[in-house]
């Protein structure tokens, strides 16, 4: 697979007017988003997610480093014809929904019948066809987010960059957007999705990156990331449940317990010495929320992804 979006060792500092104070928003930020994947971009507030997205769109310039989008430098205007973008806080002009989506479609070069057709399709895809003549000034926040999504997809882009696309949506609308994203992936499109809704990210994303304090701290497939290498779940049978600390009995005579990687071997030997049998040993599955909290709760876990990967190896 080829990368549609690349960040190569990017630093981004925001400076005050006379450059006396600088805030580092991104630090050695390197990432590749492959064609055809849904890529989840996670991080606490202020981690640098929106800065990375704004760099990708060419709204801000890197202090150092470079990036590519479809092989062209970030900010290349003609390349954005292949990109749909939805900002975190949707801010659009106040006019009827259909007129608005037509305006953004026309800005991306659509004309005539294609523009009319794509406008209707985009409004239909986000469930706003019935509201097409209503002024967006009268829309609720959720509807605004949906009209924002419509303007992002009106020109049928190959890459969708979505910054918190479902934060204001009710569960039904959220489900509809999720289905839309999955449908887009089936059509070979790429989606770069920043979200705080971890369950949603876990459900739809092929790969996830976690950013903290401007540094990439984890990158990988959800299944790989959520499997703990430090904690294992062991299922044994033929032993009393009180023979192992923190073990519990569930169905039948099976005993379940969780151990750290260090004690794994000694506990398995203990099961055998008690005359029991080990049924399974599997890495403990964390939730994405557990992983997110572990990576972002304190400064100690903000090692860059390559360092963290080295350590895990």
Distance, in Å, from the CA atom of 95 to the CA atom of 77, rounded to the nearest integer, reads 26
Within 35-174, strands assigned E span: 38-42, 64-69, 72-73, 83-86, 159-163
Nearer to other proteins by Cβ, of 144 and 208: the residue is 144
| Using rule CB under 8 A, residue 54 touches other proteins | yes
Within the chain, strands assigned E span: 3-15, 22-34, 38-42, 64-69, 72-73, 83-86, 159-163, 190-194, 207-212, 215-220, 227-237, 248-249, 254-260, 277-285
First vs last C-alpha separation in the chain = 25
Token pair of 177 as six digits: 């957007």
| Using rule CB under 8 A, residue 104 touches other proteins | yes
Segment 197 to 256, residues that bind other proteins, using CB under 8 A: none
With CB under 8 A as the contact rule, the residue among 106, 274, 278, 281 that binds other proteins is 106
| Using rule CB under 8 A, residue 272 touches other proteins | no
| Using rule CB under 8 A, residue 23 touches other proteins | no
| Using rule CB under 8 A, residue 119 touches other proteins | no
Segment 140 to 169, residues that bind other proteins, using CB under 8 A: 148, 151-152
Distance, in Å, from the CA atom of 269 to the CA atom of 267, rounded to the nearest integer, reads 5
With CB under 8 A as the contact rule, the residue among 24, 36, 44, 57 that binds other proteins is 57
Token pair of 297 as six digits: 């709760």
In whole angstroms, how close is the CB of 184 to other proteins at the nearest point? 17
Nearer to other proteins by Cβ, of 104 and 232: the residue is 104
In whole angstroms, how close is the CB of 182 to other proteins at the nearest point? 23
| Using rule CB under 8 A, residue 80 touches other proteins | yes
Paired strand residues for 8:
66
Distance, in Å, from the CA atom of 21 to the CA atom of 197, rounded to the nearest integer, reads 33
Which span sits near other proteins by CB under 8 A: 79-87, 203-211, 218-226, 248-256? Answer: 79-87
Burial class (CB in 10 A: 0-12, 13-18, 19+), 200: buried
Binding site for other proteins (CB under 8 A): 14, 50, 54, 57-61, 77-81, 83, 85, 87, 89-93, 95, 103-104, 106-109, 111, 148, 151-152
């Amino acid at each position: 697979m080829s990368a549609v979006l690349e960040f190569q060792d990017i630093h981004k500092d925001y400076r005050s007017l006379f450059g006396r104070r600088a805030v580092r928003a991104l630090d050695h930020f390197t990432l590749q988003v492959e064609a055809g994947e849904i890529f989840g971009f996670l991080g606490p507030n202020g981690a640098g997610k929106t800065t990375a997205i704004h760099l990708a769109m060419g709204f801000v310039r890197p202090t150092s480093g470079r990036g590519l989008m479809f092989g062209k430098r970030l900010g290349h205007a003609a390349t954005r014809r292949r990109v749909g973008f939805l900002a975190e806080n949707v801010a659009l002009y106040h006019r009827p929904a259909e007129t608005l989506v037509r305006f953004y479609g026309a800005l991306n070069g659509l004309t005539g019948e294609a523009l009319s057709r794509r406008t209707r399709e985009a409004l239909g895809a986000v469930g706003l066809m019935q509201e097409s003549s209503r002024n967006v000034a009268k829309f609720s926040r959720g509807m605004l987010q949906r009209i924002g999504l419509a303007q992002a997809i009106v020109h049928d882009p190959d890459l969708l960059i979505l910054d918190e696309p479902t934060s204001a949506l009710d569960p039904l609308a959220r489900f509809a957007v999720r289905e839309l994203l999955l449908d887009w992936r089936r059509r070979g499109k790429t989606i770069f999705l920043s979200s705080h809704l971890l369950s949603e990210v876990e459900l739809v994303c092929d790969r996830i990156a976690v950013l903290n304090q401007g540094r990439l701290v984890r990158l990988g497939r959800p299944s790989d990331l959520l499997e703990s290498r430090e904690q294992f779940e062991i299922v044994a049978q033929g032993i009393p449940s009180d023979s192992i600390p923190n073990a519990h009995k569930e169905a039948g005579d099976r005993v379940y317990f969780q151990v750290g990687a260090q004690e794994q071997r000694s506990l398995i030997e203990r099961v055998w010495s008690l005359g029991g049998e080990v049924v399974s040993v599997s890495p403990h599955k964390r939730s994405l929320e557990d992983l997110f909290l572990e990576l972002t709760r304190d400064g100690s876990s903000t090692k860059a992804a390559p360092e963290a990967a080295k350590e895990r190896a």
